[in-house]
């Protein structure tokens, strides 16, 4: 097995996910680390957010993480050989008010990595923009949209269900400029 200090962010997330799965703890990678994957490293973060899908008790997660050398520091976990911090936001796995059902699997040297799909990652970033005005998340959504063929209609329909139709209408040209030439 590759030493933790040599693991990329995605490899580290897969390593942790696989260890937790062996303990029957299900987590899915979300947040900025997924943006980093889908932008091929153009976006950089040290955070790894693994959504605790089945509401596993924190003490069970602490025990499993300590087995692989991670220790709690506040709400995060750190390893002495890594600059990355890991957090376990509570489930359910949702984007806005909708449950996520489309999970991508990425095969890495350290195991399978389960992540939000590109479209759900865009929705996740837009949700942060819609509800908290997070401009950085809008930029991240644009970065992903420029790398993938995404059905605008799916994002529009979701945005409307979230009650964000006016905001979506204002930003869709930013996200998909080719479709509004």
Q: What is the pTM of this model?
A: 0.92
- Kindly report, residue by residue over 59-111, the tens digit of the pLDDT: 999 999 999 999 999 999 999 999 999 999 998 999 989 999 899 999 999 99
Map the chain to HEC letters: CCCHHHCCHHHHHHHHHHHHHHCCCCEEEECHHHHHHHCCCCCCCCEEEEEECCCCCHHHHHHHHHHCCCEEECCEEECCCCCCEEECCECCCEECCEECCCEEEEEECCEEEEEECHHHHHHHHHHHHHHHCCHHHHHHHHHHHHHCCCCHHHHHHHHHHCCCHHHHHHHHHHHCHHHHC
For 117-174, what is each residue's pLDDT tens digit?
A: 999 999 999 999 999 999 999 999 999 998 888 888 999 999 999 999 999 999 988 8
């Amino acid at each position: 097995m590759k030493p933790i200090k040599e693991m990329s962010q995605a490899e580290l997330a897969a390593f942790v996910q696989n260890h937790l799965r062996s303990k029957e703890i299900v987590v899915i990678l979300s947040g900025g680390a997924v943006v980093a994957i889908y932008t091929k490293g153009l976006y950089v973060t040290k955070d790894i957010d693994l959504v605790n899908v089945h509401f596993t008790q924190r003490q069970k997660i602490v025990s499993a993480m300590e087995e692989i050398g991670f220790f709690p520091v506040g709400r995060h976990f750190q390893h002495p050989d890594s600059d990355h911090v890991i957090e376990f936001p509570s489930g359910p796995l949702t984007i806005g008010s909708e449950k996520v059902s489309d999970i991508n699997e990425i095969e890495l040297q350290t195991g399978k990595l389960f992540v939000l799909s590109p479209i759900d990652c865009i929705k996740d970033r837009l949700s942060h923009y819609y509800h908290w005005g997070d401009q950085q998340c809008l930029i991240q959504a644009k970065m992903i949209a420029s790398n993938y063929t995404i059905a605008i209609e799916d994002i529009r329909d979701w945005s409307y269900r979230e009650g964000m139709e006016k905001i979506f209408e204002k930003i869709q040209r930013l996200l998909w400029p080719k479709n509004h030439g």
